[in-house]
Structure 1
Amino acid sequence: MALTLSSTSFKEGETLKMDHILSADYGFGCGGGNKSPHLAWSGVPAGTKSFAVSCFDPDAPTGSGFWHWVVVNIPADTTELKLDAGNPKAGLLPKGALQTRTDFGAPGYGGPCPPEGHGPHRYIFTVFAVKQDALPVNADTSAAIIGFQLHFNTLEKATLTGKFAR
């Protein structure tokens, strides 16, 4: 059975609800709740020692996309992340999980907020089954370095894509 990713917050290809959109606090012109969606996975491959989760917008007008959320070192017995687990102040991540720096410049979930009139952007949530207990990174490690580490340490991955436009 292949690794699969699902959510009670949205289905594949659906528009993300305002609860998950970037809050006004960030100054980008959006007024959402900035809560990371619920995510659950199943079909875990043998040899999985931890998980990583990310949210990436390949449509951002940056030349390199935009990383909205990166979590690594999620314990192997974890099968879901609760709604708002990406809030560093909520304490909802499993013990040992580590949020690392996003393109907002700090660890934690930063919701979608594409430029007005830019059309719908895709927000690709990915769960990675990792063959190491912990990646050799810290909270300030960039998403690019995390991606490099995951490239060489992922057994399998699954995605779930939401959309949003302004």
Structure 2
Amino acid sequence: MPENIEKISVKLNVNGKTYVRNLEPRLLLVEFLREELDLTGTHVGCDTTYCGACTVLMNGAAVKSCTVFAVQADGAEILTVEGLEKDGQLHPIQKAFGDSYGLQCGYCTPGLLISTYELLSHNKQPSDKQIRKAIAGNTCRCTGYQNIFKAIQLAAQNRTRT
């Protein structure tokens, strides 16, 4: 591999904070988040787009950050799991996952939280079918999805009450 790869200037807004960096064009968004910004909540589970552990929001849409080069996200608004909590308080979706025991080992949880956040941003009262579709790209190897499903339903119920 050539050592003198030309870097590209990239400006991203991550969790409400603007970052400008000179990056190699081959650097994946997930690597940028984890290695450059030390936002390690976004996990790398498979490197094949299958598991969804690396899911983040990019301009309001859930994307698997292992499939996006950081330079492709130039000018984008990125939300990671670290951006969900505000002022040290868990986001209601995070709280619903805890209250419903919708997590076990926690490895898939960040991706599921972001997928749920996207779903509830567009649909305050999703049907069971819409919930299943929203999390179809997220794999949990610990659970049978029942408690994850309950957590999403609870988050939706709590959202409609406020």
Q: Which has the higher helix share?
A: 2
Q: Which has the higher strand share?
A: 1
TM norm structure 2: 0.26
Higher relative contact order (CA 8 A, sep 6+): 1
